[in-house]
Amino acid sequence: MIRVIKGGTVVTSSEMYQADIAIEDGEIVKIAKDIDTGSSEVIDARGAYVFPGAIDPFVSHSLTLDGLSTEENFSEVTQAAVLGGTTTILDCAYQDRGMSLKATLDAWHAKAQGRALVDYAFHIVVSDPSERALGEFRDIVENEGVSSFKVFLGFEDRWMLDDAAFFRLLQKAREIPAIVVVHPENGCVTRFLQNYAIRHDNVSFAHYAQSSPCILEGEAIHRAVAFASLANCPLYVSPTTCSEGLGAVLRARGRDQEVFAETLLPYLLFNGLPEGARTLPSPPFRGKEDREALWSALKQGYIHTVGSGHIGLPGMPEIPTAREDFRGVPKGFRGVRERFGLLYTYGVEERRITLNRFVSLVSTAPAKIFGMFPKKGTIAVGSDADVVVWDPTEEQKIATNDLMYAEYRIQGKPLAVLLRGEVVVQNGELQKEPGIGKFIFRAKHGMYL
C-alpha cells in the first residue's frame, strides 16, 4: 500500500518547504506539491512539521555500573525512543576483559533480537585492546557492519585505556577506516581527587564536581586529538561539556583535523545537579557560562550532534545522598525519549538554533558521521521513510520515570512516527509490537561525509 503524508512542512538540514510525501515498500518514492492520494492511506500533516526520524548516537541500554544493572530491556528503551520521535539508536556494546569483539557483538545482537521498536546499530566499547581484539577490527567493520569503536579515558576501574593502548587502537581503526568515539576524562587524576576528597570527608556533589574540573576535560580532549592526529584517525568526542573541551575541538578542526563533537542533552539544561536526581553525571554538570558556550557552539556548528546519553539505570528512591554524598551513587541519566522534544523546545522555540540546525543535530549529522546516510537522516526520494510528523502547537508532559526533567516542558508533540513507512506511533500511542526494528549494517567511515 502507498501511504501519503499530506500537507506538512518538510524540514531537512538544509531546506524547508511545503510538500506531500509518498511512501511505498518502506521508502520515500515521491515528494511533490500535491500528490493524488487515490486509494492511498493518508496522514494529515497540515499545520505540522515533517522531520526525518531522529537518530540518538549515544544510548547504553544494557550495562552494569557501580554494582547496579540497568532495569530496562531493549524493547523498553526503544519504545521510549520512538514515543519521543527517535527512529534509530546507536547502542553501546561493552566488551568484557578477555572477551572477543565478535562475542561482544553477538551478545548485544541477542539482547536486541526481536525486541526493537526502532532501527539500531552498535558502537563496540573496547576495554581490552589485545592484539587479538585489534585483529578483529576489519572483520567487525567489513562483515558485521559496525564501523565505530568507543574508548574511555575515564572510569579507571572499568574501561579506561592507557595512552599506549589508546594510540594503538587509533592506528588500527585508521587502517579500515573506522571512527573512534572517545569519552574524554582523565581517569587517573579524577580518581585521585575523589579519593582525596573522601579522605577529608568532602563528599557532596560540589566536591564530586571539583574532582573532574573542566581543565581535565580540556586536557583529555587535547590528548585524544593529538593522538588521533598522529595516527591520522577520525575522532568523535563524546561528551563535550565545557569551554575548555570545546576549545580543544576547535583548535583541532582549525588544523583541518577530522574531529567531531557531541554534547548530551542534560549539559544544555542543567547548571548543577537538579533536585530529585537519583544518579550522578560523569562528567559532572557544569556552570552557566559553560552551558551558554555549548548553545553557542550548537548554533555555529562547532558541536555536530546532541545525544541523550541514556543509561537505563534502575529506578531509585528520591534520597539526599546524590547531592550530599557521591559515594556509591551510580553514574548516568535517562533521556532517550525526552531528547528530541526538549532540544526542539529549548533550542528552536527559544531561538537558540534554527529548525534546519535542529534536524542536523538530531538526525542528519549522526547519519553522515556513522555511515547511515542517505538511507537515514534526511527526507529524500530513496531514503528510508523514517518520519516524524510534529505538531508544534501542543505541549507535552515529561513522561520519564525519574525526576531529573520534572521541571521541564516539551512544546510540540509527535502526531505520527513512521519507521520505514510503518506507523509506529500515532497521537502519542504505540501502534506496533516489538520486533519491527532492524539492525543497520553501516558503511566504513567517511563514505557519506
Whether residue 405 contacts residue 265, with contact meaning beta carbons closer than 8 Å, is answered with no
Phi-psi region of 288 (alpha: psi -120 to 50; beta: other; left: phi over 0): alpha
Whether residue 267 contacts residue 286, with contact meaning beta carbons closer than 8 Å, is answered with yes
Which residues share a beta bridge with 310?
59, 333
Q: In tens digits, what is the pLDDT along the chain, a chain of 449 residues?
A: 699 999 999 999 999 999 999 999 999 999 999 999 988 999 999 999 999 999 999 998 866 555 555 567 899 999 999 999 999 999 999 999 899 999 999 999 999 999 999 999 999 999 999 999 999 999 999 999 999 999 999 877 778 899 999 999 999 999 999 999 999 998 899 899 888 988 988 888 888 888 899 999 999 999 999 999 999 999 999 999 999 999 999 999 999 999 999 999 999 999 888 776 777 888 999 999 999 999 999 999 999 999 999 987 655 555 556 667 777 777 778 899 999 999 999 999 999 999 999 999 999 999 999 999 999 999 999 999 999 999 999 998 887 655 688 889 999 999 999 999 999 999 999 999 999 999 999 999 987 66
- Distance from chain centroid for Cα 318: 26
Whether residue 164 contacts residue 131, with contact meaning beta carbons closer than 8 Å, is answered with no
Residue 127 is placed in which grid cell?
576495554
Q: In angstroms, rounded to a whole number, what is the distance separating the alpha carbons of residues 412 and 389?
A: 10
Domains with residue ranges and CATH for the chain: 3-51+383-395+405-430 (2.30.40.10), 53-369 (3.20.20.140)
pLDDT of residue 318: 53
DSSP E strands: which ranges in 322-407? 387-396
* DSSP letters for 78-144: HHHHHHHTEEEEEEEEEPPTT--HHHHHHHHHHHHTTT-SSEEEEEEE-S---HHHHTTHHHHHHHH
Whether residue 143 contacts residue 154, with contact meaning beta carbons closer than 8 Å, is answered with no
3-class secondary-structure state, position 114:
coil
Q: How crowded is residue 114: how many other Cβ atoms within 10 Å of its Cβ?
A: 12
Q: Hey, what amino acid is at 157? A: D
Q: Hey, what amino acid is at 90? A: L
Place of cell 572477551: 99
Q: What are phi and psi of 252, to 5 degrees?
A: -65, -45
Whether residue 122 contacts residue 154, with contact meaning beta carbons closer than 8 Å, is answered with no
Q: Please give the radius of gyration of the chain, using alpha carbons only, rounded to the nearest integer.
A: 21
Q: In angstroms, rounded to a whole number, what is the distance separating the alpha carbons of residues 192 and 417?
A: 47
pTM here is 0.95
Q: Hey, what amino acid is at 51? A: F
3-class secondary-structure state, position 407:
coil
Pairing relationship of beta strands 16-24 and 49-52 according to DSSP bridges: unpaired
Q: What are phi and psi of 128, to 5 degrees?
A: -135, 80
pLDDT of residue 272: 81
Place of cell 579506561: 160
DSSP E strands: which ranges in 276-375? 305-307, 310-311
Q: In angstroms, rounded to a whole number, what is the distance separating the alpha carbons of residues 227 and 416?
A: 44
- Dihedral sign, Cα of residue 319, residue 321, residue 323, residue 324: positive
> How many angstroms separate the most distant Cα atoms in the chain?
74
Pairing relationship of beta strands 310-311 and 68-69 according to DSSP bridges: unpaired
Q: In angstroms, rounded to a whole number, what is the distance separating the alpha carbons of residues 243 and 346?
A: 20
Residue 173's Cβ-side half-sphere holds a number of Cα atoms within 13 Å equal to 33
pLDDT of residue 275: 72
Place of cell 592507557: 162
* Calculated CA dihedral for residues 58, 60, 66, 69, nearest 10 degrees: 160
pLDDT of residue 69: 53
Residue 72 is placed in which grid cell?
530496562
Residue 251 is placed in which grid cell?
583548535
Q: What are phi and psi of 438, to 5 degrees?
A: -125, 155
